[in-house]
């Protein structure tokens, strides 16, 4: 039997307001356990919540960026459940009237061994809520500690329709979503710190069936690698279970990366189990039409818009444009460089090549703090364009600046002895000498062997110790050889 996989994602994005959603308390990551806990987090009597306006603004910006409806009036609800890391016994969230409804996100899916394609993922909603605390097991043998530092941190929970049909599609969507929320500046997006984590709902059904199968939810996946592995394992588990005559039970599961498997945590709740009702301590959240329109006008150029601009105006391929718009830092670096040089393709190659490689080799360094600025790289590229140095020499200058040499591009070219020989007479003499010494190679070229021409170029460059202009060498060789 052939099976169809159906996947929906619920993504929790911590908002970068640096204060909690219903109090002014600090929500900085880390610190001693409970150092950032406040009266509201600990459910002390008489502590009343007040909404953080910054969280509302960031949620609205996200809604506008995905073409969703941003509600002028949304309502906060109490979601009731009982865990040690939730002292109130309920989580303040949104249910019936969330701040964002609908919207969609286009993502490029690149399955291994198959052609890439664009998947449009429809979103159901995005709502504001507070994060819970964290249970730390094994503090002492048989004991669990509760850390409320994370409690009250503002989140938006982004829920998709069940429209993805493979782990590749789910991961492509998650990566695109992550890039967007970081691009907008509404989150730091640090996966290790839990700024961005996914709950993934997986079900399978026979091909051609329209009714959804029984779903299982895999909680709190905070790595794209683990997201891929968790979905692939769960799909295989469900198919094997059904084909062996078993039944999939709706439940919440946990992915264990050490054993590459999902394990049951508890039976899966439905909305009625949470007994939602409007929070009596919070007024409805209101945004005027004018406020929403001002937020729309204030949005930066979005990744998709820049993706299309780079292809249309800069003549880049979809692949190059996709890489250059994968993060706002990379996009800004490329844009700054491209405005200073004529060859946009060469600018893209430098950013995707030397700059990216150098960043990967320098732990903890972001592109915003790269030692080679776009202005310096433009100077290096312009020295290649005007024939002062060749590409090999340019890479040596780049490496020297990256390593901390502040002499300046022109001074480095002189110090490293990289200036090309551009004197036509000098290079022509070298070409004549090489042709005289390599008569058999000349005959091979004249008989149609292109490799012989490349070998002659190599001989001239060797004679010039790599300093001759490759363009001039090629030009003179073609002239001499007819």
Q: What is the per-residue pLDDT across 432-443, written as a single tens digit (0 to 9) for each?
A: 888 888 878 877
Mean pLDDT is lowest, of 14-18, 264-268, 281-285, 335-339, for 264-268
* Domain parsing of the chain, residue ranges: 3-290, 301-411, 424-481
pLDDT over 70 at 227, yes or no: yes
Lowest-confidence segment of 178-187, 368-377, 453-462 by average pLDDT: 453-462
- Fold of the domain spanning 424-481: Arc Repressor Mutant, subunit A (1.10.10)
For residue 455, what pLDDT is reported? Answer: 84
pLDDT of 65-93, one tens digit each? 999 999 999 999 999 988 888 999 999 99
- Residue 408 banded pLDDT, cuts 50, 70, 90: very high
pLDDT class of 422 with cuts at 50, 70, 90: low
| Full 3-state SS string of the chain | CCEEEEEEEEEEEECCCCECCCCCCECCCCCCCCCCCCCCCCCCCCCCCCCCHHHHHHHHHHHHHCCCEECCEECCEEEECCCCCCCCCEEEECCCCCCEECCEEEEEECCCCCCCEEEEEEEEEEEEEECCCEEEECCCCCCEEEECCCCCCEEEEEEECCCECCHHHHHHHHHHHHHHHHHCCCCCCCCCCCCEEEEEEEEEEECCCCCCCCCEEEEEECCHHHHHHHHHHHHHHHHHHHHCCCCCCCEEEEEECCCCEEEEEEECCCHHHHCCEECCCCCCEECCHHHHHHHHHCCCCCHHHHHHHHHHCCCCCHHHHHHHCCCHHHHHHHHHHHCCCCCHHHHHHHHHHHHHHHHHCCCCCCHHHCCCCHHHHHHHHHHHHCCCCCHHHHHHHHHHHHCCCCCCHHHHHHHCCCCCECCHHHHHHHHHHHHHHCHHHHHHHHCCCHHHHHHHHHHHHHHCCCCECHHHHHHHHHHHHC
Decide if pLDDT at 399 tops 80.
yes
Summarised one tens digit per residue, pLDDT across range 301-339 is 999 999 999 999 999 998 899 899 988 999 999 999 999
């Amino acid at each position: 039997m052939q099976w169809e996989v159906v996947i929906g994602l619920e993504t929790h994005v911590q908002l970068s307001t640096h204060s909690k959603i219903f109090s002014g308390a600090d929500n900085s990551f880390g610190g001693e356990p409970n150092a950032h806990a406040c009266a509201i987090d600990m459910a002390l009597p008489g502590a009343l919540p007040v909404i953080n306006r910054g969280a509302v603004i960031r949620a609205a910006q996200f809604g506008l960026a995905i073409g969703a409806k941003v509600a002028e009036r949304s309502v906060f609800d109490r979601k009731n459940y009982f865990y040690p890391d939730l002292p109130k016994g309920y989580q303040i969230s949104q249910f019936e009237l969330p701040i964002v409804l609908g919207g969609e996100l286009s993502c490029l899916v690149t399955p291994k061994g198959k052609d890439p394609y664009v998947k449009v993922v429809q979103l159901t909603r995005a709502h504001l809520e507070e994060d819970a605390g964290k249970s730390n097991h094994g503090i002492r043998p048989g004991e669990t500690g509760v850390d409320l530092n994370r409690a009250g941190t503002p989140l938006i929970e982004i829920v998709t329709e069940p429209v993805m049909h493979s782990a590749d599609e789910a991961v492509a969507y998650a990566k695109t979503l992550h890039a967007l929320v970081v691009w907008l500046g509404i989150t730091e997006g640090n996966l290790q710190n839990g700024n961005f984590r996914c709950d993934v709902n997986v079900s399978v059904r026979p091909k051609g069936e329209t009714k959804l199968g029984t779903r299982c939810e895999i909680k709190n996946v905070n790595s794209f690698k683990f997201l891929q592995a968790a979905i692939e394992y769960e799909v295989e588990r469900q198919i094997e279970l059904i084909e062996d005559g078993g039944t999939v039970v709706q439940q919440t599961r946990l992915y264990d990366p050490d054993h590459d498997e999902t394990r049951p945590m508890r039976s899966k709740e439905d909305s009625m189990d949470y007994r939602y009702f409007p929070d009596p301590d919070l007024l409805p959240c209101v945004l005027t039409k004018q406020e929403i329109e001002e937020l729309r006008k204030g949005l930066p150029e979005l990744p998709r818009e820049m993706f299309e601009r780079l292809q249309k105006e800069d003549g880049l391929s979809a692949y190059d444009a996709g890489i250059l718009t994968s993060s706002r830092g990379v996009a800004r670096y490329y844009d700054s460089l491209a405005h200073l040089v004529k060859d946009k393709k060469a600018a893209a190659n430098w950013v995707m090549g030397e700059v990216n490689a150098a960043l990967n080799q320098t732990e903890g360094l972001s592109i915003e703090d790269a030692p080679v600025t776009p202005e310096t790289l433009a100077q290096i590229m312009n020295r290649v364009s005007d024939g002062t140095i060749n590409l090999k020499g340019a890479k040596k200058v780049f490496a020297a600046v990256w390593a901390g040499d502040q002499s300046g591009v022109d001074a480095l070219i002189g110090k490293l002895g990289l200036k090309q020989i551009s004197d036509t007479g000098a290079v022509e003499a070298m070409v004549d000498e090489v042709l005289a010494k390599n008569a058999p190679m000349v005959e091979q070229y004249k008989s149609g062997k292109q490799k012989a021409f490349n070998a002659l170029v190599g001989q001239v460059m060797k004679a010039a110790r790599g300093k001759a202009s490759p363009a001039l060498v090629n030009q003179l060789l073609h002239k001499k050889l007819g």
